[in-house]
Structure 1
Amino acid sequence: MAIDPPIQAILAAAGSFFLVTLIFATIYVVCKATEQRPNRQSRAISRNRTRPISGPDLSVISVGESATFDPSLNRVSMPELLLLTRNFSADLIIGDGSFGLVYKAKLANGVTVAVKKLGDDAFQGFREFRAEMETLGKIRHWNIVKILGYCATGSDRILIYEFVEKGSLDQWLYDTSSDNYDVAVWLPLPWKTRVNIVKGVAAGLCYMHNLDTPIIHRDIKASNILLDSNFEAHIADFGLARRIVGTQSHVSTQVAGTMGYMPPEYLHGATMATMVGDVYSFGVLMLEIITGRRPNWPFKEEEDGKEIRLVDCARKRAAENRQMEMVDANLPRDGLKEEGVVEFIRIATLCTNEIPKYRPAMKEVVELLDGISI
């Protein structure tokens, strides 16, 4: 059917108008994108100080912000860490801490470090991450592992710690030694060494709790205590650590920690992390060190075969004056004095009191431990 000439004219005009409009719209979008792209790049560079990495394997990685807290170290960039850890090879894993894996790496200047790659959910954002790291990076105490620096790009968060030679206390209590550490032959820790480790952890926690801005660790446990070549203790893994600001005695935060070490108030719905929560975890650690029993694994009583928790068992044995029965069967008896064991367990039960306000402060704990006979 033929179309009337007037209608043909209208359709032709409409088509021409649509085509012209489409052309101009396309030109506008292209020009706008070209105009805005440099601005977005400049803002990204200003905010993240990023630069592309050359090389076939690293071409899609960009370096964000990094910092070192040790004046003897240069800044360590993300491409360096990727090379030093062979792109975070599983062969170099030496630990599995809170929120991430830990790798062994040797820097260009010959210094061996522990590199922790945090998971995506370890921190809410980069600002919080940087604030925590800058605070923790200033901590200098013999019994606390040094945070040497950090590196961040995109969603990746990397912490660089000093490397502690003998690995975790957990490895030495239970013979879970790794070839990555200098543990050629596992030997049970003697009594004097165990007491000194406890004293070192207590000193480190006391220091943290008595800073001008106190720090709560929130995850004291055997695998977070590292031992150097002299078996001196160093508190590690600050993935859950929080600062106490102002006159607070607690931090309002999501309760966190490890089952078996967590104080009962955390398990019963408390929404505040406290210093006495750290004290409870420390008391559990003391019991673990003297008994060689994992606190998150209930065990059966010999008398009635009923399961009992480590903390409850210690309290029961202390009440019955049967503390020596709790001593690790692998612990050498040389130099082991009953009065020392009794006092050790007494201090541990004080720290693990069910009622938070009756637990001693870490400063008092340090003084009590100094009185143990070894």
Structure 2
Amino acid sequence: MASGDDFQGLVLKGVIRVRNRQELGRGSYGRVYAVKYCGTICAAKEIHSILVEEVGDVEIIRTVESFMKECRQCSTLRHPNVIQFLGVYYPSVGAGGVQGRMRLPVMVMEMMVDSLTSLVDKHEKIPDHIKFSIVHDVSLGLCYLHNHDPPIVHRDLSPNNVLLTAHHVAKISDLGVAKVIKADSRKTMTKAPGTADFMPPEALTDNPEYGPPMDVFSFAGIVLHTFNQKWPHPTELVQYDCKTRKMVALSEVERRQQYLDKMRGEAEVLRPLVEECLDYDPAVRPTIKAVCERIQLSKDVYMKESPQDIDVITLHQQVEQKDNEIDQLRSENDQVKTENELQKRQMTEKDIQNEQLKFENDQLKQQLSFSRNVPAQQVASQLNRVTLGRPTTKTSQLKIEAPPLMPALISGRYHIKWTQLANLPAPMFSAYVTVQDKKVYIAGGNSPVDDAKHQVYVYDVNTDHWDQLPLSGHYWGVPHIIGGKLTIIGGRLSATKMVTNKVSTFDETSQTWTSHFPDLLSVRTRPGVVTHLEHVIVAGGGKYVNNTLVVQDDIEVLNWMRNSNWQKVSINLPVPMASFKPIITDDHLLIVGNVDVHISRSKSAYKITFDDITRSGDQQQTSDTPTKWITMTDATHYYTALVSSSSPPVVVGGQDQSGTTTSDIKMYGDSSKSWKNISSLSSARSEVAIVAVNNNAIIVIGGCTKGENKDNAKSSSLTTVELGQAQLIH
């Protein structure tokens, strides 16, 4: 029977079933559920039990071999718009067998958050620029498959098989019925599988021919579904003609006329292309390469004319969340009133919360109503743009999570290719960085150039150009994105050099810094700052007491969505810290390396669940309070930099005990409890600023090439900026 050897090195070790997650969906062979591999949540597809139960061994072997064929085929595919195959695993004995006769293989793939079908069903109005982006992504993935060697025809392209990331990047999935076209093979087959409403006429006949034009026809259905936000059911093949009193055959375009007629406004430019793709004759349909080029042109024109400034989908999600909270509070409030009739006429705490939520919900609905009335060329969302540093809202329908960094690195098939970008305006090390809307902001750093530490520099990814914003009035603060707004937190006042609790927000309209969010409870310079969902966490940092620098261990939390004040929580840092850059990974706050109470370097690593921080209340921690911090294995170097949104955690660069810098990029393994080298920088350096710009690329900024001595660090500080992207090793 089938074994791991049949997969020729594709079998994964250490895959764990995630028991508390519901079934994710169903593919052509079987159901899909969640697993954890090397600390990353992935999707696993197994064989339908109905395909292997109550059948003979020969039939089981045939089914498993077909499944293995899909796995081998997927293992050769590498494209950002085709679902990433990671490998296969065999569940434990008894968990994935067939009546005790054999263990069946399970395919492991990258995790996606939604399907195109689900996205269209959940949102009444999806911005046109997201629609353009989705259909363009699908065309790019299809072009890759058709130009593969040998070419691959999907044969079942439908909205169910287009999956989406949290930032609405579309990827083609479920290649279980795809076919490879070889030069010397016949292209005939039995009636094609697939979704009937998206299948071309040649696929619905006996012994049809299949080829790339089949997918082009199905792609036209994808475009109609995406832009109409309706399932494109074609009419009957024939209809009665009142004039001739005869039944007449309809063309494929005529069968879908009602959906084509609805492609108005910005979508109208795609109508001629869709009609060509729906042609009855496969030879007349355009190639997918030509389709890609025309969609790219239409998308570029639309994006150029449509500034993106309103996040419609997020507004929908916030309204839904508020509605759910209101319903829950009403239920709880009714129960309170029933139990205590004496307080029937008094406004309870639940009533107050309910009124507050209703007020907030009305505000969101007004904003949403405004966005619907804005002309189409002005309405757009930031969700499909590079916004890993921007907080998102958790809802019951869609969990928004930052994608893991380069998950394929785990399998060892990739290295990182480095590309030189425009240099920093001034040398910089030990700086803080954040990203939003394809713009990278850096501040709070050290530099041999005196004025540099006061500046906030901004890098435009699109133009590869650095600029600087007006001075914020405080330096050595931490730049951060809160509620979509660039904010500087803490630091020292430029005028007096006193440590401050100031929180300044940049107003793009007036090009000035304002007080949009409340100031911190305590003054602090260079604290650790991180955002997760609606919460901002500020921890540690330094302050002066009697002219002596004191490093703090307290933590403050702000719920920016409720526009509340900062709240001091009961849990403190494991030790006093400053100049550290925490991240959120797998719902844990993670710290690697810091400056401790003695103002000396450290390479300690700690983590704590995010809920432990945000739910710890405002009572102060005492000596009797049990610690909830988990001490991890120390990093191998000092002054190393954590990559944001990476799971498992990844650190970059650093220096050893003697001050010698390293170029190592290391990943933490939960099973081995150690930091494993997975790649390297283009050159050795420490104290870099680093940010992830998507799920397979990072930008590394500045740093220094020599040891910890301040004079050495300043003399060796860099203006270098490099982009690292995962590349397949051939």
**CA displacement 1:284-332 (0-9 Å, x = unmatched):** 1111111111124759xxxx9xxx99953554786xxxx4x345xxxxx
2:119 to 172, 179, 191: 172
Give matches, 1:174-193, under 5 Å: 174-175=121-122, 186=123, 188-193=125-130
CA contact (8 A) 1:149 1:161 kept: yes
Structure-2 residue corresponding to 1:56:
none
- Other structure's SS at 1:114 match: strand
Structure-2 residue corresponding to 1:106:
36
CA contact (8 A) 1:215 1:244 kept: yes
Give, in whole Å, the separation in 1 of the partners of 2:225 and 2:259. 15
Structure-2 residue corresponding to 1:182:
none
Letter in 2 for 1:354: Y
**CA displacement 1:28-54 (0-9 Å, x = unmatched):** xxxxxxxxxxxxxxxx7xx736xxxxx
Q: CA deviation at 1:188?
A: 3.0
- Other structure's SS at 1:273 match: coil
Give, in whole Å, the separation in 1 of the partners of 2:118 and 2:107. 22
Give, in whole Å, the separation in 2 of the partners of 1:296 and 1:209. 26
**CA displacement 1:89-126 (0-9 Å, x = unmatched):** 8x52111222311112223x211100111226498344
Q: CA deviation at 1:239?
A: 1.3
| Distance change in 2, residues 1:258/1:130 (3 Å) | same
Give, in whole Å, the separation in 1 of the partners of 2:188 and 2:217. 16
Give, in whole Å, the separation in 2 of the partners of 1:117 and 1:145. 16
2:274 to 311, 334, 348: 348
| Distance change in 2, residues 1:316/1:103 (3 Å) | closer
1:146 to 66, 79, 84: 84
- Other structure's SS at 1:124 match: helix
Letter in 2 for 1:138: T
Give matches, 1:111-122, under 5 Å: 111-119=40-48, 121=51
Structure-2 residue corresponding to 1:268:
205
- Other structure's SS at 1:269 match: coil
Q: Give unpaired runs (5+ residues) of structure 1.
A: 1-43, 50-63, 176-185, 328-337
| Distance change in 2, residues 1:276/1:95 (3 Å) | same
CA RMSD of aligned residues (A): 3.2
CA contact (8 A) 2:235 2:256 kept: no
CA contact (8 A) 1:225 1:236 kept: yes
**CA displacement 1:175-212 (0-9 Å, x = unmatched):** 1xxxxxxxxxx563210110111011001001100111
Q: CA deviation at 1:269?
A: 2.3
Give, in whole Å, the separation in 1 of the partners of 2:173 and 2:140. 14
Q: Give unpaired runs (5+ residues) of structure 2.
A: 53-60, 91-96, 237-241, 243-249, 303-730
Give, in whole Å, the separation in 1 of the partners of 2:82 and 2:124. 24
Give, in whole Å, the separation in 1 of the partners of 2:255 and 2:130. 24
- Which one scores higher on RCO, CA 8 angstroms, separation ≥ 6? 1
**More divergent stretch after superposition (225-234 vs 308-317):** 308-317
CA contact (8 A) 2:233 2:256 kept: no
Structure-1 residue corresponding to 2:254:
312
**CA displacement 1:140-162 (0-9 Å, x = unmatched):** 00100011112356363421110
- Other structure's SS at 2:109 match: strand
| Distance change in 2, residues 1:68/1:223 (3 Å) | farther
| Distance change in 2, residues 1:158/1:268 (3 Å) | same
- Other structure's SS at 1:161 match: strand
| 2:48 corresponds to 1:48 | no
CA contact (8 A) 1:66 1:75 kept: no
| 2:154 corresponds to 1:212 | no
Structure-2 residue corresponding to 1:158:
106
Give, in whole Å, the separation in 2 of the partners of 1:276 and 1:314. 18
Q: CA deviation at 1:369?
A: 1.1
Q: CA deviation at 1:356?
A: 1.3
**More divergent stretch after superposition (243-252 vs 269-278):** 243-252
Give, in whole Å, the separation in 2 of the partners of 1:250 and 1:364. 23
Structure-2 residue corresponding to 1:134:
72
- Other structure's SS at 2:33 match: strand
| Distance change in 2, residues 1:249/1:281 (3 Å) | farther
Give, in whole Å, the separation in 2 of the partners of 1:289 and 1:295. 10
Q: CA deviation at 1:127?
A: 3.8
**More divergent stretch after superposition (119-128 vs 156-165):** 119-128
| Distance change in 2, residues 1:249/1:349 (3 Å) | farther
1:195 to 132, 137, 151: 132
**CA displacement 1:186-245 (0-9 Å, x = unmatched):** 563210110111011001001100111111111111111111122111111111111112
CA contact (8 A) 1:99 1:239 kept: yes
- Other structure's SS at 1:341 match: helix
| Distance change in 2, residues 1:316/1:370 (3 Å) | same
CA contact (8 A) 2:29 2:67 kept: no
Letter in 1 for 2:142: L
CA contact (8 A) 1:137 1:149 kept: yes
Give, in whole Å, the separation in 1 of the partners of 2:108 and 2:190. 25
| Distance change in 2, residues 1:310/1:231 (3 Å) | farther
Q: CA deviation at 1:68?
A: 6.3
Number of corresponding residues? 269
Structure-2 residue corresponding to 1:33:
none
Give, in whole Å, the separation in 2 of the partners of 1:190 and 1:130. 40
Structure-2 residue corresponding to 1:226:
163
Letter in 1 for 2:27: G
**More divergent stretch after superposition (272-281 vs 138-147):** 272-281
2:292 to 344, 355, 366: 366
Give, in whole Å, the separation in 2 of the partners of 1:253 and 1:187. 39
- Other structure's SS at 1:293 match: coil
Letter in 2 for 1:134: R
- Other structure's SS at 2:197 match: coil
Letter in 1 for 2:3: N
| Distance change in 2, residues 1:140/1:253 (3 Å) | farther
| Distance change in 2, residues 1:249/1:366 (3 Å) | farther
CA contact (8 A) 2:252 2:280 kept: no
Letter in 2 for 1:268: T
